[in-house]
Amino acid sequence: MARTRPRARTARGKAEGPAIRVRFASGADARLNPESPRDMVWAEVLESLRDSRQPAYVEIDPQTRYITSLLLPQRFTVAAIREMPRADDVEVELEISHARHHLRRAHPRFDEMYTLLDRARREKTPVLVTESLDSSAIVDVRPAPSLTGRRRT
């Protein structure tokens, strides 16, 4: 698993079967299947992220190097963290966002992500938050890199 910025899209591989090779700014390499409509959409999204210098959250199969999950981290500040009595998650208020965001207590990295979010709230520093596509469940939190050279302000 890597949260990393896509750098370039290269031609189809030859000896290893059909593939679009993706190289990330971190140096990691991954593949997409050009025969999969879903992967072709992912390639378009990765190109869009590369062009706008935005990060990507990807999960990569360590055996095949194919990307198995692509999500979009977003830069937020943490306005509040609310404990939900008897609930299996905590609610996180992010800015700018009007969605309700949830950090599941059952997530294996709950403690680590909660600590990062709480520190960002106290220190008013931005974080990169990644959520699942079908809900507002937080799956990854990282300190946001400097905005130097980025388009977003």
Partner 1 sequence: MPPSVTLQRARQLFDLCNARICCPCSTPSPCIPFLYPDNGCWARAHEMCRLMIADGAQPEKVWIQGNLNVNSHNKPDCLVQWGWHVAPTLQVDINGSPQTYVIDPSLFNAPVSQATWKSIQGDPGASLTPSSADIFYLWWGTTDPTYSQTNADLATYRNMLKLRSAGSDGPPPYTNCMVKPGGTQWFGLIEGNQTQLWFTWGWPASWHVVWNIMPLTPCPGGSQLTWDVAVERASSTHATYWITVKNLSADRIRFAGRYNILS
**Residues paired with residue 143 on neighbouring β-strands, in sequence order:** 127
Q: Which stretch binds partner 1 (CB under 8 A): 66-74, 106-114, 119-127, 140-148?
A: 66-74
- Please pick, from the candidates 1, 8, 84, 133, the single residue that binds partner 1 as defined by CB under 8 A: 133
The nearest distance, CB 111 to partner 1, in angstroms, is 25
38 is a site residue for partner 1 (CB under 8 A): yes
The nearest distance, CB 18 to partner 1, in angstroms, is 18
96 is a site residue for partner 1 (CB under 8 A): yes
CA angle 19, 4, 57 (to 5 degrees): 80
The nearest distance, CB 149 to partner 1, in angstroms, is 15
27 is a site residue for partner 1 (CB under 8 A): no
The nearest distance, CB 15 to partner 1, in angstroms, is 28
SS3 106: coil
Q: Are 31 and 67 in contact (CB under 8 A)?
A: yes
Q: Quick one: which of 55, 71, 64, 63 has its CA closest to 13?
A: 64
Contacts 24+ apart (CB under 8 A), 90-97: 90/114, 92/117, 92/129, 92/138, 94/129
- Quote the tokens at residue 127: 């974080």
- Quote the tokens at residue 58: 């990807």
Query: Hey, which residues between 99 and 128 contact partner 1 (CB under 8 A)?
Result: 99-100
**Site for partner 1, rule CB under 8 A:** 37-38, 41-42, 44-45, 48-49, 52, 54, 70-72, 74, 93, 95-100, 133-136, 151-153
